[in-house]
Amino acid sequence: TSAASTARTARSSELFARARTVTPGGVNSPVRAFDAVGGTPRFIRSARGAWLTDVDGNDYVDLICSWGPMLLGHAHPEVQRAVTEAVSRGTSYGTPTVPEVELASEIVARTPVERVRFTSSGTEATMSAIRLARGFTGRDVVVKFAGCYHGHVDSLLAAAGSGLATFGNPNAGPSTPGVPSSSTDLTLVLPYNDTAAVAAAFAEHGDRIACLVTEAAAGNMGVVPPDPGFNRFLAETCARHGALFVSDEVMTGFRASRQGQWGLDGAVEGWAPDLMTFGKVMGGGFPAAAFGGRADVMAHLSPEGSVYQAGTLSGNPVATTAGLATLRLATDEVYAHLTAAGETIKEAAADALTAAGVPHAVQSTGTMFSVFFTEGPVRDFAGASGQDVAAYAAFFHAMLDAGVHLPPSAYEGWFLSAAHDDRAVQTVLDALPAAARAAASQ
Ligand code: PMP
């Protein structure tokens, strides 16, 4: 718990108490609560660059970055300018607009997808991709991996990661009450990075499988990269059985690299997913997400085809303007900076935890990384589940007291931005040794 906290939290505490009287748990998404680490969530008043400022006037280096989207840092002046200009022209018309076409073109240019459709959340994107895969193939079964999270889609809330890893039911079947087993009966859940399990599932059910959906690199149980060749194996296995390969890049897209996780494997090895999902970075901090893929598959979507999918705010002009400005500013230099800052923090975290005698594993894919409080490397959900969450809670609060805001759960990546400059990185480095000792004494 935060009993030892020296931070001023009077106003956050007051707001949190009030929030709980009007919103379940006081938060609008479970991972924002501090239930896993104890204490009072900080209510953030403003953010600029790498820094968050809470309602009590405390500043924190932000290692959440809105759970991925803020690739350029907060309140980037050029993104702000584009958004302000867009808002001055009105905020939503329910008609086609210019920025939708431009953002779709930017996504087509950076990834293997040929057609894109926008949604307002990653959840809708994966939900729609699965409906399209089922409509296209005329099959019903969906394969997913334990510990992967694809949004709160009923059929995918089986052995799901993210907040479900922290709060949910880790067994097979629905991860949460409210999802009937009929919704997950058609979902096959396999261990991540297990090619034998994939081969066996396709050997037995191949002609019933509409699609296999995977995080392009797992990022919702902490960062667990695909073994070399794993994604290629998935693509080939799906192709052999007439199933679609759906690569969820909501988290990795335009973050793991300029071309997402696909830029690190598919682009190098010469294969492409049939469908992909995107979100987070491509919305520039606004509610925007997308799914896309092969032109012949996407042609099955309404109104061109018969698979229905829609959204009042889909492709919203302000959100797509923010996403477009963000992607245009996300140059090779940005990714080089994320790599360098990430290396510095990963090395310092490993050194501090080693010096304090805290078992840990630092894992990454491209510019994405996380720190596991485990004895050794993590390859799947079973490995991630063995974390010392009490040690993480102590570590988290010591970092928070020293002005660094980590994700309030051991099952999440640490996110950086282009605005994490020397001062921000140094603040993290200065905080690590005492936090590691706090974890050790837990
Ligand atoms: N897929 C992945 C890989 C994600 O990380 C997330 C969100 N963390 C989602 C889907 C769902 O996106 P949203 O929260 O926008 O619904």
Share of the chain above pLDDT 70, in %: 95
pLDDT band per the 50, 70, 90 thresholds, residue 172: low
Q: How far is residue 271's CA from residue 368's CA, in Å, rounded to a whole number?
A: 22
pLDDT band per the 50, 70, 90 thresholds, residue 185: confident
Facing residues of 361 across strands? 372
Task: Give the residue numbers spanning the domain of 233.
Answer: 77-329
In a domain, 148, yes or no: yes
Domain count, the chain: 1
Pocket test for ligand 1, best of 119, 250, 261 (most atoms within 8 A of CB): 250
Q: How far is residue 415's CA from residue 50's CA, in Å, rounded to a whole number?
A: 10
Q: How far is residue 395's CA from residue 356's CA, in Å, rounded to a whole number?
A: 12
- Render pLDDT for 24-39 as a digit per residue (tens, 0 to 9): 999 999 999 999 999 9
Pocket test for ligand 1, best of 145, 149, 365 (most atoms within 8 A of CB): 149
pLDDT band per the 50, 70, 90 thresholds, residue 175: confident
pLDDT at 161: 62
- Is 246 a pocket residue for ligand 1 (Cβ < 6 Å)? no
- Is 367 a pocket residue for ligand 1 (Cβ < 6 Å)? no
Residue 227's φ and ψ, nearest 5 degrees, are -55, 150
Query: By C-alpha distance, which of 326, 161, 129 is closest to 246?
Result: 129
CATH number for the domain spanning 137: value is 3.40.640.10
> Which is it for the CA torsion 111, 117, 120, 124, positive or negative?
negative
Pocket test for ligand 1, best of 28, 215, 220, 286 (most atoms within 8 A of CB): 220
Decide: 410 and 392 in contact? Cβ < 8 Å.
yes
pLDDT tops 60 at residue 79 = yes
Question: What's the 161 CA to ligand 1 centre distance in angstroms?
Answer: 10
In a domain, 203, yes or no: yes
Tell me the whole-structure pTM to 2 decimals: 0.96
Average predicted confidence (pLDDT) for the chain: 95
- Is 279 a pocket residue for ligand 1 (Cβ < 6 Å)? yes
In a domain, 24, yes or no: no
In a domain, 406, yes or no: no
- Is 125 a pocket residue for ligand 1 (Cβ < 6 Å)? no
- Is 245 a pocket residue for ligand 1 (Cβ < 6 Å)? no
Question: What's the 65 CA to ligand 1 centre distance in angstroms?
Answer: 14
Q: How far is residue 279's CA from residue 362's CA, in Å, rounded to a whole number?
A: 25
pLDDT at 2: 43
In terms of DSSP H, where are the helices of 30-121?
77-88, 98-110
pLDDT at 4: 44
pLDDT band per the 50, 70, 90 thresholds, residue 3: very low
- Is 149 a pocket residue for ligand 1 (Cβ < 6 Å)? yes
- Is 163 a pocket residue for ligand 1 (Cβ < 6 Å)? no
Q: How far is residue 144's CA from residue 171's CA, in Å, rounded to a whole number?
A: 14
Complex-level ipTM beyond the 0.95 threshold: yes
In a domain, 335, yes or no: no
pLDDT at 182: 85
pLDDT tops 60 at residue 166 = no
Average the pLDDT over 400-424 and give the result. Answer: 97
| Paired sense of beta strands 209-215 and 141-145, if any | parallel
274 is catalytic: no
In a domain, 264, yes or no: yes
| Paired sense of beta strands 44-48 and 51-54, if any | antiparallel
In a domain, 365, yes or no: no
Catalytic residue among 62, 248, 265, 388: 248
In a domain, 55, yes or no: no
59 is catalytic: no
280 is catalytic: yes
